[in-house]
Amino acid sequence: MPRPPDPRPIIIDTDPGTDDAIALFLAFGTPGLDVRLVSVTGGNVGLAHTLANARALVGLAGRDMPVVAGADRPLLGGFAAETRVHGRDGLGGVRLPEGPPATPGVAADAIRAVLRAAGPQGVSLVGIGPATNLALALATEPALLDHVAEIVLMAGAWADGNVTPAAEFNAWSDPEALQILLSSGRPVTLATLEVAAQAVCTPARIAALRALGNGACLGAACAIMESVPPARRLGGAGHAEYDACALAWLAAPALFTTRPVHAEMDLGPGPSRGRTVIDRWGRNGRAPNARLLETLDADGFFALLGERLATLP
């Protein structure tokens, strides 16, 4: 009988955030993923909240892994939170038990340390917040790119944005950092607003998840989902589970169709700053540097979510 493959080592860089919470639970419940590090940035809310939230989510899931604080602002410019969706605390007011203490150190250093220790399989970098920590880690020790198996990001949009008409929130929050990752030469997969808009979390889907068990993580996930207001861009039907799409790609890639694209950032000072310029049709003649997640089996996605969350404490 063939030996099952070893779990894929990953680093999750995150800014929890309601949808980050669901993504982390999905990662923790997926046996094929070995989360070596959770690095934390300011993003959906400030770093003090995102770090506390990451610690609480790791603790509730009963996981033993370093949680390390990183950047509290982008490489250039100032910090801006998104409390309208995530609430002042980032988790929509859902109170969780305090998690284990943060591991001392700086996220970029911790990311580099995990990469240095990686075996020939390398480590997948999963970014579901502003890309600052990942960019700092790679820009300051470029030789470690050889240890990066791939980079999977929830970032960007090929149509309109959700924080400005041009830009998606994570991309807009630190476009210079995202450009560093897109220019890294490593395989990049993008879960953009368009694929996430197919993962619509409705009251009926939350009710179906609740029916799967009474675990603390499943209950917290459902409460967090219920705290998110319905999105106008989705016709008020519900909200998108943005960040979980990036983890679902690693857990069950057959749920997606993909397209090779060339992607780069608009770094100018004008109204298009932070836009991900994604060439889906090869119009600019430049070689693809990213894989775009284009369509999603939404029913399969929520079935996966329920299956994996139900295994957690």
Among residues of the chain, what percentage have pLDDT more than 70?
99
SS3 302: helix
Tokens 């909240």 locate to: 49
Q: Identify the domain containing residue 161 by its residue range.
A: 8-309
How confident is the model at residue 310, as a pLDDT? 97
For residue 2, tell me if it sits in a domain.
no
Strand partners, 123: 148
Number of domains into which the chain is organized? 1
Rounded-to-integer distance, Cα 44 and Cα 95, Å:
17
- Position 16: which residue type? P
Q: Is there a domain that residue 110 lies in? A: yes
Cis amide prior to 43 (ω within 30 degrees): no
Placement of tokens 């989510």 in the chain: 57
Judge whether residue 49 has pLDDT over 80. yes
Residues 141-182: pLDDT tens digits? 999 999 999 999 999 999 999 999 999 999 999 999 999 999
Q: How does DSSP classify residue 252?
A: -
Residue 150 in contact with residue 186, Cβ under 8 Å? yes
Is residue 266 classed as helix, strand or coil in its secondary structure? coil
Pairwise CA distance, residues 190 & 63, whole Å: 27
What's the mean pLDDT in 195-202? 97
Q: Is residue 242 part of a domain?
A: yes
Per-residue pLDDT at 44 exceeds 70: yes
258: three-class secondary structure by DSSP: strand
| pLDDT of 6 above 90 | no
pLDDT band, residue 205 (cuts 50/70/90): very high
- State pLDDT tens for residues 216-269: 999 999 999 999 999 998 889 999 999 999 999 999 999 999 999 999 999 999
> What mean pLDDT value characterizes the chain?
95
What would the two tokens of residue 171 be? 């991309």
78-123 pLDDT per residue, tens: 888 877 787 888 899 999 999 999 999 999 999 999 999 997 889 9
Q: How far apart are the first and last CA of the chain?
A: 31
Q: Is residue 51 part of a domain?
A: yes
User: pTM value?
Assistant: 0.96
In a domain, 53, yes or no: yes
Does residue 280 fall inside a structural domain?
Answer: yes
What pLDDT sits at residue 1?
A: 58
Question: What's residue 3's pLDDT?
Answer: 58
* 262 inside domain: yes
**In-domain check, residue 3:** no
Q: Based on C-alpha coordinates, what's the Rg of the chain?
A: 18
Largest CA distance in the chain: 59
**pLDDT for the residue numbered 17:** 92
The enclosing domain of 265 has a CATH number of 3.90.245.10
